[in-house]
Structure 1
Amino acid sequence: MSEPVTALNNTSDATGIAAVSEIGPVGMITLRGDLNASYLRKAAAQIAGVDVPAPLGCNSSDNRGIAWMSPDELLVMCPYAEAGETVEKLEKAIGSNFATAANVSDGRAVFRVSGPLAREVMAKLSPVDLDPAIFKPGMFRRTRLAQVPAAFWMTDDETFQIFCFRSVAQYVFDVLKVAAQSGSAVGHFPLAEGQSANT
């Protein structure tokens, strides 16, 4: 069996005000159906190992998670090697109830932006209000980064995880790298106590 290859071969850059890296591959399954239905919520939570999040949220632990994508769509995340098996488990758990599950892992690229100034880097590219009092770890947004569709959430106070279509992976890495380039700190968001910006 051949080894999976990410869009950019896990490229990274840590020379700027935040570290930017492609991570992955990551297993991603689109699950569509009635998000209020107990059979769907139970199946997703049992398989992902986390609760189904509230709207605009993402619950994750290690390499598993569930992100709220829309009123009728969840994104279930798992180890890449388990994606096919996870789809089968979801379909079996859902049974004859209405829902669809599709493995979309190979169509996505996943990035991480980390460091005390990660929030500032992301704010340069997205129209989302990233004020620390408003956007907190566990919140999830489908939006745009510069000119392309993307989605992201914070796994902790200094780390964003981002995914986009694989076809625009190089563009997304490049704009993240430019937004994080050395000397580009704006100082818009105050650093938390104990944080230090290495600009």
Structure 2
Amino acid sequence: MSNVNVFQQQASAGTASESPLHFSLQRSPLPSSSQDAGVIMSERPFLTHLVLRGSPEVLSAGVRKIIGVELPGVPCSLNVDGQKSIQWLAPDEWLAILPPGSEFTVEKDLREELGDASYAIVNVSGGQTVLELSGPNAREVLMKSTSCDLHPRVFPEGRGVSTVFAKTGVIIRRPDSERWELVIRRSFADYLYRWLLNAGAEYGITTRAE
């Protein structure tokens, strides 16, 4: 911990912040809300995104203590507890998505807990955002855009994978039976937002403010 500088990157109170989809929402008017919409899309902006690297033996106890969520040990699995989630990305890599504004405190506390063990923590909060899709036709919209098998038998609740979606890389997650999540890069946010509006038009797509 003594050899690492951890920076508080949160803007001071009162400073205006723009989510990755701020420009898109200004440029592309939102569809009118509809009670019978087949797809409901919303951005979950400003969440904490931390990439954790290291062996499970090193990380598990510290992550459980500081974050309060078990480190997934099964490939492509996702553990969710309220607003907190941790997803398996690779044998020594996980993505933790936590409530907004917690990145500095969580990283500092994790580093203090893990001490001089071999690990890495990278704050990627500013470079990613989460798009949430729900509604009776959400899976159909996703199926139009990726070759990943999204059948419930193959992609049950608690699963998440990195894959190609609409010609770019995303993480598709299924936190529960009602919702799907896309973890996307900031630079592709506008492109994917407009892609999904087009893909969902036949089902009736609307948006919901978070």
Contact 1:110/1:162 (<8 A) preserved = yes
CA distance in 2, matches of 1:139, 1:176: 21
**Given the superposition, is the C-alpha separation of residues 45 and 126 from structure 1 closer, same or farther in structure 2, using an over 3 Å criterion?**
farther
Aligned with residue 48 of structure 2, among 12, 24, 27:
27
Aligned with residue 182 of structure 2, among 145, 152, 162:
162
Aligned with residue 51 of structure 1, among 52, 64, 70:
70
Q: Where does the alignment leave 5 or more consecutive residues of structure 2 unmatched? A: 1-11, 205-210
Q: TM-score w.r.t. structure 1 length?
A: 0.84
Aligned with residue 116 of structure 2, among 96, 101, 112:
96
Q: Does 1:17 align with 2:30?
A: no
Q: Does 1:63 align with 2:76?
A: no
CA distance in 2, matches of 1:77, 1:45: 14
Superposition pairs of residues 151-190 of structure 1, within 5 angstroms? 151-183=171-203
Count of paired positions: 183
| Bigger relative CO (Cα 8 Å, ≥ 6 apart) | 2
CA distance in 2, matches of 1:157, 1:102: 30
CA distance in 2, matches of 1:51, 1:183: 37
**Given the superposition, is the C-alpha separation of residues 157 and 84 from structure 1 closer, same or farther in structure 2, using an over 3 Å criterion?**
same
Q: Where does the alignment leave 5 or more consecutive residues of structure 1 unmatched? A: 185-199
Q: Which amino acid aligns with 2:83?
A: N
Q: CA deviation at 1:183?
A: 4.3
Match in the other structure for 2:7: none
Q: CA deviation at 1:3?
A: 4.3
Q: TM-score w.r.t. structure 2 length?
A: 0.80
CA distance in 2, matches of 1:3, 1:72: 36
Q: CA deviation at 1:164?
A: 1.0
RMSD, matched Cα: 2.0
CA distance in 1, matches of 2:203, 2:98: 37
DSSP 3-state at the match of 1:161: strand
Q: Does 1:127 align with 2:140?
A: no
